[in-house]
Amino acid sequence: MHKEILEDIGERELINRLAKFMPKNQIKDDCALIQTKNNNLLINNDSMVENVHFNDIIICPKDLGWKSVVSNISDLLSSGSKKTIGITVSLILPAETEWIWVEELYKGINKALKEYGGIILGGDCSIGNEKIISITAFGIQGEIELRRYACKPGETILTTGIHGLSKLGFLIQNKTSLNENISLKKRLVRKSIEHFCRPKIYPYFLKNLIKTRSNKKIKRIGCTDSSDGLFQAVQDLAIASECKAIMNYAKIPKHKDWPKGDKWDEYYFFGGEDYELVFSLPKKWAKNLCKLDKNISEIGYFAKGEPAIEFKDNDKNKLLKNKPFRHF
């Protein structure tokens, strides 16, 4: 009899099956919420694994330290964290790892914490066959809760920043052969490598949400980040919120030098590791926010229906045949 392996069931199904060992609804968001007397705490854990997420050719240890912190704080922000308290760092390293590699890693970690807040609270070290950096981040829940399951039909889908750049940066760093007929402009190359090695996040996002909120009674909105790609982010929101996402390809924000073509659309929607926020708001609120922050763009809307993604531009629905990133 065939035994199921993780490659067969995939990451999402693995998480769904693990849910039976946890309290109800514990897997609906990346962050866990702990209620305390004074502040509600948000807790997130993310890991970077050698030869899955990084290697010494495509990223230096200082940039890796930065990126490991940003990937965690991005999840805190996408749940509505107003402040990062700190992180714990667990390392699994081969015995032959040079000290300078570890030192540079921690310099990058501290640089990101200095930029976005928080301190190193502790951690753990162990020996292993490959390098693994596992970080747990602690934040304080802000006034507005951001949850994947809070999107509603009729709301506008928005995103911060531009997607696809990190994927292109990875391909460039990995010296992957791209389309020979396309000559990438230097500023696109530079920006893509920067997005891959030193991604940025939006610490003032929650303040801008509060500043532009037209209805003060709204305390919860739908949101996630695009660590697994724009398509996966929108799909996660649709599934968790039980509604259909209609995306407008013509409104998708792209870098001015981004090439055209099916392959480049695939990089854009399925690349991942951009750490942009993808969320939904009532129309008036969305309009106010876009007016305040020009880096935020409307990309579609949610409608009643079975959880799914459709493109308003029918010829772009062929994109949906692509598969999001899988860890297994």
Over residues 101-115, the pLDDT tens digits come to 999 999 999 999 999
pTM above the 0.85 mark? Answer: yes
Q: Which helix (H) or strand (E) holds 70?
A: helix 61-77
* Range list for CATH 3.30.1330.10 in the chain: 29-141
Q: Which helix (H) or strand (E) holds 309?
A: strand 308-311
**Strands across the sheet containing 132-141:** 32-34, 41-49, 132-141, 81-93, 119-127
Over residues 16-50, the pLDDT tens digits come to 888 889 887 777 777 888 988 889 999 999 999 99
Predicted pLDDT at 318:
86
Categorize the per-residue pLDDT at 1 as very low, low, confident or very high, splitting at 50, 70 and 90.
Answer: low
* Range list for CATH 3.90.650.10 in the chain: 145-321
Q: Which CATH superfamily is domain 29-141 in?
A: PurM-like, N-terminal domain (3.30.1330.10)
| Integer CA distances (angstroms), 196 to 141, 164, 200, 328, in order | 28, 10, 10, 22
Region 145-321: CATH code: 3.90.650.10
Lowest mean pLDDT among 97-111, 152-166, 301-315: 301-315
Predicted pLDDT at 30:
76
| Integer CA distances (angstroms), 10 to 82, 170, 202, in order | 33, 23, 31
- For residue 281, is pLDDT > 70? yes
Predicted pLDDT at 327:
66
Over residues 139-148, the pLDDT tens digits come to 999 999 999 9
Categorize the per-residue pLDDT at 325 as very low, low, confident or very high, splitting at 50, 70 and 90.
Answer: low
